[in-house]
Structures are given as C-alpha cells and as structure tokens.
Homo-oligomer: A and B are copies of this chain.
Amino acid sequence: MASSQYPQETFLSVKLSPGSFMEKKRHAASSASLKQQLGFLKSTGRYEAFKLKWLPAYDEPPAVWPIGNWLFWDSDIGKWIEGACYFLHTDYDAEVDAAVQELTDMLAGAQHEDGYLNLHYSIVEPTKNRFTNIRDFCELYNAGHLLEGALAHQHYYKNDKLLGPMIKYVELMIKTFGPGKDQLHAYPGHPELEIALLRLHERTKDPRHLELARYFITERGNPKGVDGRHYYDWEADKRGDDPNARPYFYPERTPSNWYYSASVPLVEMQGVEGHSVRPMYLLTAVADMVRMDQKSTTDLQKAIVRLWDDMVGKKMYVTGGIGSIPQYEGFGIPYFLPQGTDEGGCYAETCAAIGIMMMVERVLQYDLDGSFTDIMELAFYNAVLTAISTDGRKYTYVNQLASSDANAADRSEWFKCCCCPPNIMRTLAIIGGYICSEPASIKPEDKHIAVHLYAPSTLEFTVCGQPSKLTQATDWPWSGDVTFALETASKTVSISLRIPQWTSEWSIEPEPPHRNVQKGYLTLPGDWLAANPSFILKVKLDVRMLAPHPLVNTDTVALARGPIVYCVEDMDNSWVEDHFKSLQLDPDAEVVERPTVDRTTDEKYVALDVYRGSSLLPTKSLKAQPSVPWKTLAKEAADANVIDVLHFVPYYFHSNRGGKGMMRTGIRRWVR
C-alpha cells in the first residue's frame, strides 16, 4: 500500500513563488475570501448556529423543497474551518485563529452525549428523527466536511479539540451503520464522509474507519439493502412519504435514486448520472480506497475508468465543467451539452469541477496517467478558477458557457446554498499540493517525483534524510517554458514530467536521454538528472480551435491556448446585443496573441484576437418558418458582414470588469 500524499498535507512542502499566477490566486483566497466568507458566516447566522438557538432562518420555507435552507450549514462551517487551518500555516491571522477556536468550542458544545453532532436534528427537528432521511437531509455529508475540517484543525493546532469530538461521532456511526441486524444499511445521500473517513483512517490507522468507508461505498445502490428493498425506498416508506410528493430536484417520478448515484451498485454503473458533485466525491473516495487496497478492488478500479470515460467523452464541456441540467444540478443524457440555459441547459457547478480535481489527484497516486491529469488541469484553469473573482470576493456557483437574458454572466458574494465559495477557498489553500506527487518507487531509497502542473514553485523533500529541492521557474500558463532546478545530494531522484496531450511540440534542453512518453509522462532518470540538475522543458502553447464531439450537435468552435479556454465578453466587444448568439467564427481564421495586463484588475494574461475571421449571421431576414433552404442560409452566411476584430479573454477571467453580462465560449462555426 502506497502511503498517503494528500494535497491537504503536501501543500506545506511546496512554496509558490510570490506574484506568480497560481500564488496570486491563492493569495486572493487568503487575503480576501477567507475573511469575506467569515463575515457571511456571521451575518447569515451560520457562525453562531451551533449555540443551538432558534434563528429566523429556520422559519423560512425551503427554496428547494424538502431541503431546509440551513441543512448544509454544518458543511459550510466545516469547509471554512478546513480552509482557515490551511491558511493559518502560511498566512497567520489572529482573527481567523480566534474564529476557528471559537467555532471549535461551539461545535464541541453542541455535541450530544452519544457523539451525535448535527444542527438540523439538534434544533429544528426532534433528535429522535435523526438518521431517518439519510437520502436527502445530508447529515452524513455534513459530518464528512466537519471531519475534514477537524483533520486540518489537528494538523495545524496539534490538538484534538475538534478531531476528538468528530472521532466520537464516528464511533456512533460505526455503531449505527453496517451490515449487522440492528444496524442501518444506509450510505450517505451525498458522498463526502467516505473521503473524510479514508483520510481519518490514514491518520489513525484504525481499520474500522476504513471499514465504514468501504461499507458506505460497496453498499451504495444495493437493490435489496433492507428487507429486499433499496435502502432509500425503504426509508421513504418508513417516513410515510407520499410517493407523488416529489422533491423539487426530481424532474420525473419518485423514487429517483439515479439522482444520488445510487440507482445500482457502483460496480454495475455504466455511466455517470444525476447530481454531478455526488459521483465526483464518491469516486474520489473510491480511488483513495483503491490506492489503499488495490488487490480487493479490481471491479471498483474498472468502475472508475468506465465512469470517467463516460463522463469525459460524453458529458463534459470544453471547459472541463460537468452537468448540463440546472434542475438537479447534474448530468444530462450523453452528448447533451448546450452552452446556456436558454439553449437547453448548462450548469457546470464549481463543486463538481473541484470534485474532478480531487478525484484525479487520488487516481494519480496509483495510476500515473496523463489523460487524467490533462482533465485535472483543464478543470482547474477553467471550470474552477472561473468561479472566483480576481479579487477573491465574488463567486460563481454555476459556470455556464454562454450567458442569456435570464442568466447574465455575473458573480455573487454569497449564495443561499453556499457550498461553492468555501470549497474553492479550501482548494486554493492547498493548490500547491496538486503540483507534484511522489509515486511509489521500487526501491525505498529511490525517489520519484511526478510533476502534474507547471507553476513557479519550490518543492522541498528529503532523500535518505537529506533535504532536497525541486524548483520550477516559468510564466505558465502564458508561457510554455519551464526551467527546472533540482538540488539534491542523491543520484536516485527521478522526475516524471507531464507532457500535455494538447501540445503539438515539446522539447527539453539539454537533450533528454529519450523521448519515450508513457501514459502522458516523460520520466527523466536519476543519472541523467544528476548530470543535468538544471533543464528547461519547452511546451508549445498551441492556439487551438476546439469543437465538441460531433454527436453533441452543437456546431461551435472554442478557442484555447495551452490549458486556457477562451471566451468573448461584451467588455471587449461592445457591439454585442444578443449574447453572441448570431456570432460566427471561421475555424481556419488566424488568431493573434496579445499579452495584456488589465488595468482594473491587474490581471496579466494573453488575450487572443481574430481579425476579419468572424461575422454576424443576419437572422433578421429569416421569416417565421420551420426550416430554411440550405442555399439561402449558405448565401446569408457568405454575405455576412465581417467583424474587423473579435477579442477573446480567458474564460476564467469573465465577469471581472463589469459590463452587461454577455459572454460566450463556443462560437457558431462560420462556413464561408
């Protein structure tokens, strides 16, 4: 079993270079998001909720029936504590420190005698009802986030003030859930606790922590879980639910166990479905379990690959975002990927993209495969980074690829269901931990470092007790040149460099010993590195016109350069009136790169311009009719007025400079 390399801990070994792209994003989170979110925790009631006083919010009707608006508050607190503890290591702040300690005291004070800890069933609904709506009321999801917060808390404070109570809660769960006669054969409606339990196991080595996670994972979707029935169906009947009273997020009938990634056991599941965050969190845990115990989990490992291929090939946007259906925040049918809500749907929730990163990071620990890393990079630079403003004070929850009148491109300071902002905050806190990992080496005295992401940074590590360093100097993602410097006394340090599949050309100076890229990584052996401790990787940041899979039925092209996907925004193209719906782009048009520093945000990026390669389809001349002769359309397209210059900005950068909220990623293909 390989040892854990959770970025939640390894990030401390990585120093991001001040002022660099990645460091600026992390700095925005530490210097702005952290306290801005603390302010909202306080003003919305979450902060003091565990004092268990009745709050006016509990009287509000649910925005998404039957889910009370406060049902996820525990998780918001858990994620904030988690992120705060990471930042306390590197960016100490007394107010944050005090808040974490006060929250810790309040949480400990709210714990029941038997270890139970949950806001809703302690104050809003009678305690006796706990664990009666495992499917929808998210007690176990909340517990997972509190447990992850407690792990970060212990790591920073070196005490058990939060982890102690959480382990006591886990003890209650070990009693409550399992295959035993008197136990509930349940599993979290929203996976997350599984992730936390495996990380807890890694710290405690208590086999019961692993066992509970394994039970949750393998019992999930069992059609005959209780009395020959699916647990969620059995539970709903026990509650006396009216089968026709459908939660708002069910488009069709009850039961809708597909929504929870629980229609069938994972090993039988053929594709991702339902709410898009759930399978990502579930697969993160599954991948971690596979790493811990590969021999017993071949079918689970196959399931990861099967669901991954289904998702990446049929249900993922060009930005790495997933989920096209707003109603249930989830996956549509294969190849159903409209760019906006007025074209059929687009959701691409931030938390789901974070889930992709978490899942890939776990997979890479047992399977160093660049096809996973490429998607992690894609999701990070586009689907995740777009969700936080350059100043760290505003967020997106939904990451649509095109705006519309009903859903303008904009950002918010907070959301009623506020899972995404603290999630991106805690992710950026540990982003350094995603850059590299150490795959298991054959000989324990060897060291093998795999570089997944390129970013100016210094990784510190030890080989045979000797402190060593690996430094990257680069202007990535705007330049593809990365200068590496390895400082070590050892000659057995090998390095694997990810060669992105999107590049057409790469080289290493001095000439590497071979160019044998295996599963997306080029491995430089220790002897060559000993002779060449400093070397430059040059990756061509090709500008590419990307089309969705042809079966997507959306005849568009999106611009990308290196790992960055671009969009058009009204700020740079002020003539736009229709959210760029009628804009056409020649996929063979020449694209000009324009290094830029935006004045209002101080954001540095490479803008892209297309001169005389785009036009507006004159749709006004079309009469109301159910079809248009192709020849008429072709003539209209050919005669369309050419736009002198069309300006593109990185997709992640949209909605940072004001404007009227018009944005589009994939542009209609112009055949001229």
Contact = CB atoms under 8 A, between A and B. Distances in A.
Given A248-B253, A333-B344, A551-B619, A557 B630 contact: yes
A320 interface: yes
B338 A553 contact: yes
Interface residues of A, number: 68
Contacts of A334: 342
A619 B335 contact: no
A327 interface: yes
Interface stretch (A31-39, A194-202, A476-484, A539-547): A539-547
A400 to B, nearest CB: 15
A239 B280 CA distance: 43
Contacts of A126: none
A166 interface: no
Q: Determine how many copies of this chain the complex contains.
A: 2
A99 interface: no
A669 B627 CA distance: 14
Interface stretch (A172-180, A218-226, A310-318, A459-467): A310-318
B633 A550 contact: yes
A113 interface: no
A626 B316 contact: yes
Given A545-B629, A545-B631, A623 B248 contact: no
Nearest to A66: B244
Given A245-B245, A378-B626, A547 B320 contact: no
Interface in A540-569: 544-551, 553-555, 557-558, 560
Nearest to A318: B627
A513 interface: no
A250 to B, nearest CB: 8
A517 interface: no
A301 B550 CA distance: 43
Contact of A252 (B248, B547, B551): B248
A372 to B, nearest CB: 11
A625 interface: yes
Nearest to A309: B624
A312 B558 contact: no
Given A553-B343, A555-B553, A629 B544 contact: yes
Which 10 pairs across A and B sit closest by C-beta, in order of nearness?
A313-B624, A555-B555, A316-B626, A546-B627, A545-B630, A587-B630, A309-B624, A244-B245, A318-B627, A245-B245
